[in-house]
Amino acid sequence: MKIISKKEFLAFIDALIEDVSIDVEGVKAKGEKFVFGPLESSDELRLDHDVTILPPKKYFLPQYETMMTFDLSKPFSVERVENPKERVIIGVHPYDIIAIKQMDTYFLDTHVDDSYLQRRKNTLIIGSNILNVAEKAFFGDMGTGFVDSGYDLMLTDMGDKIAIDIGTEAGEKLLNKYVHSLQEATPNDVQKVRTIIENASAKAKRGLLVKPEGWRDLLEKNYNSDVWKSQAEKCLGCGTCTLVCPTCFCYDINDEIDLNLTTGKRIRTWDGCLLRDFTKVGSGEIFRESMEDRYRHRYNRKGRYLPDMLGFVACVGCGRCSSQCIPDIADPVNLINKIAETSQSIKKSEITPLTTEDKLVSATVEESLHLPRPATLKRVEKLTELETFFEIELDDGCPLGHQPGQFVEISVMGFGEAPISISSAPNGNTFELVVRRVGDVTSKLHTMKPGDKVGIRGPFGKGFDVKALKGRDLLFIGGGLGIVPMRSLINYVLNNRQDFGEVTILYGCKRPCEMLFKDEVAEWETRKDIQFMKSVDKCPEGESWDGEIGVITCLIPKAKFDPKSTIAIVVGPPIMYRFVIRDLLNLGMPEENIIVSLERRMKCGVGKCGHCQINGIYVCKDGPVFNYKDVKDLPEAFT
């Protein structure tokens, strides 16, 4: 530990500010509150702040971030926006440093977020130990009032002098560049710093009844507690708790086009799971519509889902949500205590500690996470009033390399991006999509012609485990648009017919005119090596129909298959699953023989934006294809 006089420290900050190659951001006053902002002089810097209104996450995941720009006057011109400028952030409290470590884990895990990584690598963190404790802070309870890593330099303001703990080589270099009068700390100084840290943590205790290691078990046991409803009744659904939270990372992405109608940008912005439209999909369905479900989700994500997924409780005890929630229902201490008071004994869970430093160093970017690849529409065919078929080829000439059941994110620049299931079996250089016209992107797609350019990301998600299906009897049950992802597997199976046992296909839709792939369906009907049946809910006057009439479950008793040994692949609208699965189980089909594909709002496709979460799983990453056995106990899966 080093010591520097206050005067020399302020000169150091002023020297940093003078250096135009670095952005110097630090804690400043805003009225009676504090914020991180650009420093114009060392006089502005406050190291006595209790907490800032927004956490420093805004530097790594900005409120509004231009991710790429596009130019529609060229066939396909999309450019990633670089953020190369170096930055120093001064005054980051230990709990916020822990939150940044969690962010590192989240954004650098498996799919590396390149925008995040660039900002993170260009930033030096100068922390400061906590002198004043915010009223609602509880980092003392959470054990997050002290850190020994995650910073480049760590300051402790001791009045006339500042203690500096060097965390990294980069921090040391910065210090040595500007400061020439560093002294070694005396044992007395070290003791003083320790006392400051201990005092803050002792003050920031608010009587949290269950330590973070117990949250997982507490939340799991009390998923159906009455507390959720009584708290949610007071909730405004304003999203404040998520926006001000240092460990809420969910985001949305939108295209903005300039007045010239040719140039524009794709913007990432903060989103929050308390907002009503957070789970809204293109067709208008909202998967977490009740406030109670949304409110419960936030705490479960923090205390249960993220610990399971990444090994940390996503709460650092800063108290921002508690102090900024006007109905005063967001306070985690109150919430956890309320539940704990009505709960039985709680088990501690093993939480694997973070190993983020390595990730920050080792993370490399192979390809930009959100940047689409150019592709060309090869064939466009209108299938029904609402659905159009597209055959697409990537401009680099490479095959998409997908598995049946996976999906892509398709971009029409200026309109946005939408997740669409791949409907073709892996075969050749092109792939096929069937798109229902529901929103801006899909409506625009419907007006496009062969030769037009689109952007493609993916393939994403887990598809059907084709290997595990080999040699088995298969029963396909497809409802409505569900036939689209299913077709990628059906065609694969029919192309490799000898590798599979009995094959049965049941296909249902609302009315005859909604039937997709009519030519292929006609072929399936005549094939001798499969069993095919179809149904419509009703056949209005003027349409003709030679199949069954009734909902799709009416076909199940008519089909011949051995429920004990057959694997059922079920894909359809949310309402269909409950009834089809019930009938299959009643026939004696084992749960693990049922495979489903689920739909949610897969905005990013790579497990980051948070929209497609079903309890603890991400549909985009862990699915969309699931074994029924693995999701049947998730309360949000089949609502």
Partner 1 sequence: MKPKVAFFDFAGCEGCQLQIANLEEDVLKLIDIVEIVSFREIMKEHSDEYDIAVIEGSIMRPMDEERLKKIRKNAKILVALGACACIGSVQRMLNQWPIEESKKIVYNNFKETKNNPYFDNFSTKAVDEVVKVDAYVPGCPIDRNEFARVLVALVQGKKPPIPDYPLCVECKKKENVCLFELGKFCMGPITRAGCDAICPTHGNECEGCRGFISHPEERAYTEVLEKYGLSVEEILQRKTMFTYRYVEKTKKEAKKDE
Q: Which is nearer to partner 1, 445 or 556 (CB)?
A: 445
Task: Build a one-symbol-per-residue string for 538-567: x at contacts with partner 1 by CB under 8 A, - elsewhere.
Answer: ------------------------------
Find the helix or strand (DSSP H, E) in which 548 lies: strand 548-549
Site for partner 1 (CB under 8 A): which residue of 81, 170, 202, 326? 326
Least distance in angstroms from the C-beta of 27 to partner 1: 12
Binding to partner 1 in span 2-41, by CB under 8 A: 30-33, 35
- The closest of 49, 11, 32 to 157, measured between CA atoms, is 49
Nearer to partner 1, 252 or 599 (CB): 252
Residue number, 31 or 353, with CB nearest to partner 1: 31
> Smallest gap, in angstroms, from Cβ of residue 50 to partner 1?
14
Chosen residue from 5, 41, 63, 427 binding partner 1 by CB under 8 A: 63
Q: In whole angstroms, how close is the CB of 385 to partner 1 at the nearest point?
A: 18
> Does 234 help bind partner 1 (rule: CB under 8 A)?
yes
Q: Compare residues 437 and 632 and give the one whose CB is closer to partner 1.
A: 437
Q: Which is nearer to partner 1, 277 or 529 (CB)?
A: 277
Binding mask 158-197 toward partner 1 (x if CB under 8 A, else -) reads: ----------------------------------------
Measured distance CA(29)–CA(362) in Å, rounded: 37
Of the pair 198, 258, the CB lying nearest partner 1 is at: 258
When binding is defined by CB under 8 A, the residue of 81, 170, 202, 236 that contacts partner 1 is 236
Nearest to 557 by CA among 532, 584, 538: 584
Antiparallel, parallel or unpaired: β 123-128 and 153-157: parallel
Stretch that binds partner 1, among 104-112, 436-444, 563-571, 586-594 (CB under 8 A): 436-444
Scan residues 249-278 and list those touching partner 1 (CB under 8 A): 254, 256-261, 269-270, 272, 275-277
Please enumerate, as own/partner, the contacts of 151-154 that have beta carbons within 8 Å and a separation of 24 or more: 151/92, 151/97, 151/125, 151/126, 151/127, 152/124, 152/125, 152/126, 153/124, 153/125, 153/126, 153/127, 154/126, 154/127, 154/128, 154/129
* Closest CB to partner 1 among residues 10, 53: 53
Check if the beta carbon of residue 282 is closer than 8 Å to that of residue 439. Answer: yes
What is the SS3 assignment for 215-227? HHHHHHHCCCCHH
Task: Out of 13, 88, 133, 235, point to the residue binding partner 1 (CB under 8 A).
Answer: 235
Distance (Å, whole) CA 59 – CA 62: 6
Q: Is 319 in the site for partner 1 (CB under 8 A)?
A: no
Interface region with partner 1, contact rule CB under 8 A, candidates 187-195, 321-329, 489-497, 587-595: 321-329
* Cβ–Cβ < 8 Å for 228, 290: no
Select from 167-175, 228-236, 448-456, 621-629 the region that touches partner 1 (CB under 8 A): 228-236
User: Does 448 engage in binding with partner 1 (CB under 8 A)?
Assistant: no
Compute the least distance from the CB of residue 521 to partner 1, in Å: 32
- Which residue's structure tokens are 């660039």? 118
Nearer to partner 1, 291 or 425 (CB): 291
Inter-residue contact 456 to 520 (CB < 8 Å) = no
Q: Tokens for 125, please give them.
A: 């963190």
The residue among 52 and 201 lying less far from partner 1, judged by its C-beta, is 52
Strand, helix or coil for residue 123: strand
Identified binder of partner 1 from the candidate list 14, 440, 525, 548, rule CB under 8 A: 440
Smaller CB separation from partner 1, 116 or 577? 116
- Per CB under 8 A, the list member of 91, 171, 212, 239 interacting with partner 1 is 239
Quick check: 135 binds partner 1 (CB under 8 A)?
A: no
Distances (CA, A) of 57 to 103, 316, 364: 8, 13, 21
The answer to whether 370 and 253 have CB atoms below 8 angstroms apart is: yes
Task: Tell me: does residue 327 bind partner 1 (CB under 8 A).
Answer: yes
User: Measured from the CB of residue 314, what is the shortest distance to partner 1 in angstroms?
Assistant: 18
Cα 90 to chain centroid distance, Å, stands at 29
Distances (CA, A) of 405 to 159, 390, 463, 483, 599: 63, 17, 4, 11, 12
Closest separation between CB of residue 233 and partner 1, Å? 7
Site for partner 1 (CB under 8 A): which residue of 190, 196, 197, 238? Answer: 238
- The three-point CA angle 114-373-517 to 5° equals 130
Q: Which is nearer to partner 1, 235 or 490 (CB)?
A: 235
Q: What's the min distance (Å) between Cβ of 37 and partner 1?
A: 8
Comparing CB distances to partner 1, the nearer of 171 and 319 is 319
What is each CA distance from 241 to 295, 321, 639, in whole angstroms?
A: 10, 4, 26
- Contact (CB, 8 A) for 240 and 322: no
Q: Which of residues 587-606 bind partner 1 (CB under 8 A)?
A: none
SS3 call for 113: coil
Instruction: Classify residue 311 by its DSSP letter.
Output: S
According to DSSP, residue 286 is labeled B
In the complex, the smallest distance separating the C-beta of residue 270 from partner 1, rounded to whole angstroms, is: 6
Q: Please identify, using beta-carbon distances, which residue of 12 and 415 lies nearer to partner 1.
A: 415
Minimum Å gap between C-beta 285 and partner 1 is 15
Number of residues that bind partner 1 (CB under 8 A): 44
Alpha-carbon distance 13 to 575, whole Å?
61
> Of 115-123, 132-140, 234-242, 339-347, which segment contacts partner 1 by CB under 8 A?
234-242
Q: Residue 91: which residues within 8 A CB-CB, separation 6 or more? A: 26, 27, 36, 45, 46, 47, 49, 126, 127, 128, 155
Write out the two tokens for 49. 């702040």
388 binds partner 1 (CB under 8 A): no
Residues with Cβ < 8 Å from 484, sequence gap 6 or more? 421, 423, 433, 434, 516
Kindly state whether residue 60 participates in binding partner 1, applying the rule CB under 8 A. Answer: no
Q: In what order do the strands lie in the sheet with 407-412?
A: 416-421, 407-412, 453-460, 373-382, 387-394, 430-436
Question: Which of 153, 154, 243, 606: binder of partner 1 (CB under 8 A)?
Answer: 243
Q: Distance between CA 568 and CA 591 in Å, rounded?
A: 10
Task: Take residue 568 and report the two structure tokens written for it.
Answer: 């059922």
Q: Which stretch binds partner 1 (CB under 8 A): 163-171, 347-355, 438-446, 491-499?
A: 438-446
User: Where do contacts with partner 1 occur on this chain (CB under 8 A)?
Assistant: 30-33, 35, 53-54, 58, 63-64, 233-240, 243-244, 254, 256-261, 269-270, 272, 275-277, 291, 324, 326-327, 414-415, 439-440, 443-444, 447
